[in-house]
Amino acid sequence: QVTLKESGPGILQPSHTLSLTCSFSGFSLSTYGMGVSWIRQPSGKGLEWLASIWWNGNTYNNPSLKSRLTVSKDTSNNQAFLKVTSVDTADTATYYCAHTRLAQIRGTGGYFDYWGQGVMVTVSS
């Protein structure tokens, strides 16, 4: 059974760095075709894909956030991480991590078949 759970600071100040952890079970991030992705959703709005990290260490970020995103993993401890630098109020959202399956051989993207419950992050001074 695949489960994921996000953890983070809840609230942080503008210009600070947001650090989120995704702790998961039921799969290994060293298995071919598996990944973890980060997706966020401002209250009452739609979903925005942020980044993915794959079993082979490849990472893909949404260029709309320029170079503010860093995604990483600790395979041994079944965790994935997201850092967002220089946050501002526009980064206020619920952040989800999701188990991701490669959608095609030699592809770079996938679909999100298991999701964490999400962690609400508020950026406020």
Partner 1 sequence: DIVLTQSPVLAVSLGQRATISCRASQSVSISSINLMHWYQQKPGQQPKLLIYRASNLASGIPARFSGSGSGTDFTLTIDPVQADDIAAYYCQQSRESPNTFGAGTKLELK
List of residues contacting partner 1 (CB under 8 A): 37, 46-49, 52, 60-64, 96, 101, 103-104, 107-118
Nearest approach in angstroms of CB 28 to partner 1 is 19
Residue pair 98/49 in contact (Cβ under 8 Å)? The answer is no
Cα 46 to the center of its chain, rounded Å:
16
Burial of 52 (0-12, 13-18, 19+ CB in 10 A): buried
Q: Is the CB of 14 or the CB of 42 nearer to partner 1?
A: 42
Q: Is the CB of 37 or the CB of 123 nearer to partner 1?
A: 37
Nearest approach in angstroms of CB 5 to partner 1 is 11
Nearest approach in angstroms of CB 81 to partner 1 is 19
Backbone angles phi, psi at 75, to 5 degrees: -65, -40
